[in-house]
Amino acid sequence: MQKRRVVITGMGAVTPVGNSIDEMWASIQAGKSGIGLIKNFDSSKNSVKIGGEVRDLDLTQWVDKKDARKMARFTKYAVAAAAQAVIDAGLSKADFENGLGERTGVFVGVGIGGFEILESSMQKYFEAGPERIPPLSIPMLIPNEAPGNISMLFGIKGPSMSISTACASGSDALGNALDQIRSGRIDMCLAGGAEGAVTGYGIGGFSVLQTLAHSYNDNPEKASRPFDKKREGFVMGEGSAILILEELEHAKKRGAKIYAEFAGYGATSDAYHITSPSPDGSGGAAAIKKALEDAQIKPEEVQYYNAHGTSTPVNDPAETAMVKTAFGAHAYKMKISSTKSMTGHCLGAAGAIEAAICVKAVQDGFYPPTINLDEPDIEAGCDLDYVPNVGVKGSIDCAVSGSLGFGGHNGVVVIKKFKD
């Protein structure tokens, strides 16, 4: 049976490097870092004081102030990105309420959820007892509130759910949405990821795991340095990206503009370790192979790979091994970059943000850079073309984005230039 083709007809983003797709993409092209000293909370008690935070987001463009107060940060980011995507796709709430919403879904990957809500409500619980817990604490902090609020905002009545596979959540939400559209259950889906975990507990928890960059409080923009010899850990980021996925004939019928084709998805589990990827990259390589097979793409047809590239000592060599296993000799011919060098690691939102970047890379023919890559860690096997420091122009017909999550989750998506 021939698969229903799925295209991308709208995008929205809220990130450390810009609160729209265009602003984000301009920053990525320019190699601009969004990492700085933390302002969301008093970080004086934290040894790590840097992060990739969202700045100057005005949610009242789309949501009443009263309703916004009932949302955690990650939900606000998701709602803002979704509203942008709906407008970008030439749609409105009326379209969904007049029948389109019955066959539209909302899938949002969230790794953690409302950490800041959990922190504040737990403080009141310990200080004053259970009766002083704010009544909306639970609804605000749970991950499914992001897709729930989006569906309510637009009157979307198809399947609405959150996907939680740690740092692969955004990619897996996109992949599950792809499968739902292909199956014929829905014709359209608002899909992506969201996270708002730059909080005292979030930074502290990852710090004691020894996964964060810790020596760059005085030079935040240099902290995220994937594949570089001086990398020491990731930088926590936050934000959201939502893509509107649509069955091709459905998109054509309504005269939608088409950014690119969402051609394939693959997912596997390492079954190796709760926080570390398999050193040989075999699990991730299997996910890439499944995604390429799903897209009916040969490895040598891929020009660009957007790496998970967290800047940790463990991830970068393992992912390089994963790419070599999946692509063989072609791994040395294609270009690879980690845009986390600019955004930081946005956890559950990362895969969606990076998928949106791949769409723009294919559309504009531009390979994003890996900034802060001054000396590749050749001794650890990091010897591929990571587009160091400055992005380059070039034709891109096919891009692949890989995401790896705690628990051994691997999610890979394939984006193709649209050809009718």
> How deeply is 407 buried, as exposed, middle or buried, from its count of CB atoms within 10 A (0-12, 13-18, 19+)?
middle
CA dist., res. 227 & res. 107, Å (int):
32
State yes or no: is 167 an active-site residue.
yes
State yes or no: is 308 an active-site residue.
yes
294 φ/ψ angles, rounded to the nearest 5 degrees: -60, -40
SS3 228: strand
- Supply the DSSP string of 1-26, one letter for each residue: -PPPPEEEEEEEEEBTTBSSHHHHHH
Which among 180, 418, 398 has a CA at the least distance from the CA of 292?
Answer: 398
Angstrom distances, CA of residue 110 to CA of 164, 195, 256: 5, 6, 28
322: tokens are 């994963």
Catalytic hit among 189, 345, 398, 409:
345
Catalytic hit among 250, 308, 398, 409:
308
User: DSSP H helical segments within 196-275, as ranges?
Assistant: 200-208, 248-253
The strand ranges marked E within 59-156 are: 104-109
Residue owning tokens 């850990």: 233
State yes or no: is 214 an active-site residue.
no
Per-residue burial over 268-292, b if 16 or more Cβ lie within 10 Å, else e, is bbbeeeeebbbebbbbbbbbbbbbb
Please list the active-site residues. 167, 308, 345
